[in-house]
Amino acid sequence: MVILDKINKYYSSGGEKIHVIDNVSAILPDTGLVFILGPSGSGKSTLLNLLGGLDNPDSGDIWIENRKLSSFTKAEKTAYLNSYLGFVFQEYNILKDLSLRENIILALEIQKHSRKEINKRFKEIINAVELNGLEKRKVSQLSGGQKQRIAIARALIKQPKMIIADEPTGNLDSETSKNIFNLFKELSKERLIVIVSHDVESAEIYADQIIHMGMGGEAHEEENN
Ligand code: ADP
Ligand code: MG
């Protein structure tokens, strides 16, 4: 279980201190799809980055399976980033000179997994994200939706317990977005997926839980049935 306990985050801009995250608490389930919703500038990405350990709160604690993220040793933090968590960003972060396959298995190669294990996981993953048959394609020959699937595959192949995604459908048309949200929904049956979005309609359709961020940094949580 992941718990956000009274999280506060401030930024200074032009001598002014802004309260970006104002005492936000939430309990996130082990599996399911959680949306962080709110207008532009309401602190959604900031909250996601705190959850991803990319930044630290000014006060409050993030609990990952009964341990404070702030108490992790350097090695534990690395394991958290490399194995526990998978990141999916809007810009895909795909390397254009590599093939679809090379992009997806990169993390496993860096982690020095065996060839056999890499091949096994790769097969499973491209089935799950429905990219079969495109293994040899160059990234430049793929659509936006296919590139986003690569980004999701790249997160998934690490078999993370939690995937966080910042506006993962921000560059996609509505039909492709629907497909990506359906994919996240399916994948969230076996892991926690936290998506930042400003798409209220999609949140109502796909989310199990919604964290609404307001412009004053405050938030409220809602079950979505
Ligand atoms: P959202 O993702 O909801 O659009 P952000 O979390 O990116 O919002 O930003 C929330 C607020 O914090 C904005 O006013 C933004 O300008 C400010 N902000 C974000 N990151 C920084 C930073 N590194 N330094 C100063 N201000 C920041
Ligand atoms: Mg953002």
Backbone torsions φ then ψ of 200, nearest 5 degrees = -60, -40
133's CB contacts (< 8 A; 6+ apart) are none
pLDDT band at 139 (very low <50, low <70, confident <90, very high): confident
> Ligand 1 pocket check: which of 46, 49, 51 to mutate, most ligand atoms within 8 Å of Cβ?
46
pLDDT digits (tens, 9 = 90+) for 32-54: 999 999 999 999 999 999 999 99
Average pLDDT over residues 17-22: 94
| Pair of tokens at residue 158 | 């690490």
**pLDDT attached to residue 72:** 95
- The pLDDT assigned to 14 comes to 87
Q: List, for residues 169-195, the tens digit of each pLDDT value.
A: 988 888 889 999 999 999 999 999 999
pLDDT greater than 80 at residue 91: no
Question: Is the pLDDT assigned to residue 221 strictly greater than 90?
Answer: no
Q: Average pLDDT for residues 135-143, to the nearest whole number?
A: 86
- Separation between Cα atoms, residue 50 and residue 218, nearest integer Å: 15
Protein residues with CB under 6 Å of any ligand 1 atom: 11, 13, 18, 20, 38, 40-46
* Interatomic CA distance for residues 204 and 87, integer angstroms: 23
Q: Which two tokens stand for residue 204?
A: 């109502």
* Average pLDDT over all residues of the chain: 92
pLDDT at 111: 81
Report how many helices (DSSP H) and strands (DSSP E) the chain contains, helices first.
7, 10
Q: How far apart are CA 186 and CA 77, in angstroms?
A: 28
d(CA 154, CA 86): 8
Indicate which atom in ligand 1 lies nearest the CA of residue 48.
Answer: 6
Give mean pLDDT, residues 64-82: 94
127 CA distance to ligand 1 middle (Å): 37
Is pLDDT above 70 for 62? yes
134 token code pair: 């495109």
**CA 27 / ligand 1 centre spacing (Å):** 23
Average pLDDT over residues 81-97: 84
> CB burial class (10 A; 0-12, 13-18, 19+) of residue 169?
buried
DSSP 195-222: EEE--HHHHHHH-SEEEEE-TTS-EEEE
